[in-house]
Structure 1
């Protein structure tokens, strides 16, 4: 290999293979940065105001992530809905509950399905493109809602949730890939972190719907929240037909004229799309010469293994921080001793604080940097979890409202900190760290492995907190604090 080519070789500890500086007019080339430096090339105002088309399509594709969040919170909230407990549960201590095995069985289908969805979507993305893969996922999403809405037994509901997980895994691997490929470098960090925002917005919508319907005394208390999910596939299928294909995918397929057309749709005014296309083709050529590869095996070779390890590690931290407690907030607050109506309201506040935290993460990441935000967030969350566990050890805490409200406030603070730091940054790091040629494979594997760990957490949490099983309640904070 010639000396100039060696100088072009990417450093896996810094960033992905250099991409064109642009869909932005006259922007400077991205400078190489250390791991603590903010990974951005322009001011906050410039990229967000100069690339409306890229932003619009990034947000549109994130609707799939919103649906994933809505479904997760809806299903979790149903377990604390009286009408659902009565129709699908059994009597325990003069009240109806859904047994822990069934709760785990249904909720576990989400990460289980996500694993298979994340593994399978890579094939569709590589063979048919990001746009077609998105439309396939959107169409399948209408199917899982059908099963859930017409379910008359927990078995059918379980099947629907398994399909929901499959779709969720497809979206969680597909959307970061698409967003990172249609956005210029200076915008990429904002838009990939907005994927976590979309998930939290979905959580907020799901909790809000459940809070508004849980007091209905008949079957519409749970059927209405499930039916409202049909809005999302309708929007995605209708709008997805007009979405631009990823120019990076088109370049790798040798469809250069189509790639330029896609660039013209996405680029800011004044951009020389022919020049951008030349830079993209050159980047693709360099990766071929450096044998970056484009298979799943390639992400574990000597050149890429460090990138893959980082992508996996940030996902592990996100799961072990207590992320999967979010699906059980209504039920958890109720077990902690809050009245049922207040438990649902606290769940809405829980996710609303998450939305605020995510919005604040954008300016913070520009000042602090990815690594400091991630590590700092992990440290703060560990402390909060230990305090939650300690409060649960207070004698007769069930009769002390101050302790119960203190626990609830700490969990809300935890979710705010998570979405300020760990949540958005982990997605951004995973999207940015890989070489462009294996971005699909790296993100898909990271999402699949994270789903497997999420599967373990999903099985474990109901058995930890349910009164007819472990009965840990708030002591679950010790577990997550120790994991971090």
Structure 2
């Protein structure tokens, strides 16, 4: 059947182009699209009217304009691919249809109604240009990333304090020569990891119940209590408990900050904004290191109390300032506050509420939330029968955690927790905690060990800064692959040099400095890849209903492996003339490379609601039909409440 195409469609379609026309679009357009015979099709995002609509009011006229322009853009973006490429086409919401044409044999034509990616203009460019084009959301993300600064500062502040004579005079249990000093020093260092593990696991339900931004306030309060106790500690027991309490707050912040950033960011610069979390962590480590490097020359106990006290300042700023930031639109939709979500989304994107891109993203968010709620009710019907009481809520919380390991989410949980596992096992915190010892194993003198350790942290900061540009330009997976390759090469060469020459460094000074150089190459590669990507990736991949818990689980994995690395590194440095540690981490870098090739999916440019397509989850025929139904319900309800559907041509 051939007839005139709607205005704006025929002009962009060459002769013989194969087009799929969803049934309700055929109802809207009385004429068919040019040169196409449709044998099967599926509904797209446009609502399916029960009959051909009559345009008799301004609201219906507005809805009509929205439908015409939406479907025109959809027609422009239809992609013709071979049947064997279906799995790679990323069509999440429109099922394929087989059509025949005189110019081609059977072809599969896929359209993607993924409301953000395929059917709208982007909000702006990627990378640094994208940050400049979206100043408000960039400012919100940068401010919430202060949680990362606290995280990094509290991690880095003890490295020099533990060797200060002024500190050891007060806390003599960790002084060299004291009975069991190695154990007590390790316990003091590890308490922050233990507290952070607990904090990260508990922040999920807090962020779901009280909102992302209020959960940040709660975390800051707990962190502040811990910091005050650390500043005023009078003995080892008090300082250990204070580190544990502060660790709980740190763990909560390390989980919720990237979660909040991911949910407020547009897809084009989400990766760039999530880099701000890792940038703040490393910046905190650098600031803490050089502050303690300077205060060690002060007389008296303020040489170590002052660094603990100074971390209160960014904590107060974050706790007070976060109250002025907008709520996450995705959290608002999960609570049924859809109108507020649209307003928040509009403010974050810097455009009006009637902007077509905002409306489509708003629909996508609502569709995803409703879909996940329906799936949850189907999986656990008994928990939704009758009135919801506290016992059912507790059981629902437990089963929601278990859902992370069920079909539809298992691959994402594996990827999110795995990437955090490898982030630690490639050896980064071994360098941060024990870098002076590592430089000593390369023949460097004491003062040079401390200076090089500080410069090493600055090198990581340089690497992280580069990812602000590369994350959304090249994608997550390429950065991980190249980073793992360079880290493996660095560890491998260092292990050879240390193994050959560590018994007589004075006679092999060149080999010692070559080892130092490759340690800096390692840190630069890590900062540009395995530093920022693991903090960004988990916040992107989980469905809305499980995102907080998924990020909490992955963050807890990070802290657990952080704890393990802190325990196993000293024995590794004391074996096989010190090269055992480098061999160990080289093997893990190689494993990280192979694992990334197999299990990591690229998320660059995709909306949070499109991760089903990225991971191939919930794409069966039943789920496609369910999503299409929910989409129609969402748009029908929006139009019935008077939402303005006006769009820009």
2:135 alignment partner in structure 1: 52
Distance 1:395 1:139, change over 3 A: closer
| Cα-to-partner distance string for 1:435-466 (whole Å, 9 max, x where unaligned) | 2332111111111122212211112224444x
**In the aligned structure 2, how far is the partner of 1:204 from the partner of 1:327?**
13
Determine which structure has the larger helix proportion and give its number: 1
| Cα-to-partner distance string for 1:172-226 (whole Å, 9 max, x where unaligned) | 2101110010111111111112211111111111111122122334322211211
1:268 alignment partner in structure 2: 350
| Cα-to-partner distance string for 1:235-290 (whole Å, 9 max, x where unaligned) | 11221221211111011100123223322331223562555433422332233445
Give 1:70 shift.
0.7
1:32 alignment partner in structure 2: none
Aligned to 1:151, the other structure's residue is in SS state coil
**In the aligned structure 2, how far is the partner of 1:98 from the partner of 1:228?**
31
Distance 1:43 1:299, change over 3 A: same
**In the aligned structure 2, how far is the partner of 1:336 from the partner of 1:161?**
32
- Verify the 8 A CA contact 2:279 2:464 in the aligned structure 1: yes
- Verify the 8 A CA contact 1:358 1:420 in the aligned structure 2: yes
2:564 alignment partner in structure 1: 456
Number of matched residues?
460
User: Which structure 2 residues correspond to residues 55-134 of structure 1 after superposition, within 5 A?
Assistant: 55-89=138-172, 99-134=181-216
Give 1:331 shift.
5.0
Does residue 21 in structure 1 map to residue 90 in structure 2?
no
Give 1:367 shift.
4.5
> What stretches of structure 2 of length at least 5 have no aligned partner?
1-40, 45-90, 96-111, 380-396, 590-649
The worse-fitting range, judged by mean Cα deviation, of 176-185 and 249-258 is 249-258
1:397 alignment partner in structure 2: 504
Does residue 286 in structure 1 map to residue 409 in structure 2?
no
Higher relative contact order (CA 8 A, sep 6+): 1
Distance 1:255 1:91, change over 3 A: closer
Give 1:476 shift.
1.8
| Cα-to-partner distance string for 1:387-408 (whole Å, 9 max, x where unaligned) | 2233323153343544443333
- Verify the 8 A CA contact 2:275 2:533 in the aligned structure 1: yes
- Verify the 8 A CA contact 1:336 1:404 in the aligned structure 2: yes
**In the aligned structure 1, how far is the partner of 2:128 from the partner of 2:310?**
36
Distance 1:410 1:210, change over 3 A: farther
The worse-fitting range, judged by mean Cα deviation, of 327-336 and 436-445 is 327-336
- Verify the 8 A CA contact 1:311 1:430 in the aligned structure 2: yes
- Verify the 8 A CA contact 1:68 1:164 in the aligned structure 2: no
**In the aligned structure 2, how far is the partner of 1:43 from the partner of 1:131?**
26
Distance 1:43 1:92, change over 3 A: closer
Distance 1:288 1:480, change over 3 A: same
**In the aligned structure 2, how far is the partner of 1:231 from the partner of 1:9?**
52
The worse-fitting range, judged by mean Cα deviation, of 157-166 and 386-395 is 386-395
- Verify the 8 A CA contact 1:80 1:331 in the aligned structure 2: no
**In the aligned structure 2, how far is the partner of 1:128 from the partner of 1:188?**
23
1:300 alignment partner in structure 2: 405
Distance 1:20 1:454, change over 3 A: farther
**In the aligned structure 2, how far is the partner of 1:395 from the partner of 1:102?**
29
- Verify the 8 A CA contact 1:115 1:452 in the aligned structure 2: yes
Compare CA radii of gyration and give the structure with the larger one: 2
Does residue 375 in structure 1 map to residue 481 in structure 2?
yes
**In the aligned structure 1, how far is the partner of 2:305 from the partner of 2:114?**
47
> What stretches of structure 1 of length at least 5 have no aligned partner?
11-16, 30-40
Does residue 194 in structure 1 map to residue 276 in structure 2?
yes
Over the residues paired in the alignment, what is the CA RMSD in angstroms? Answer: 3.1
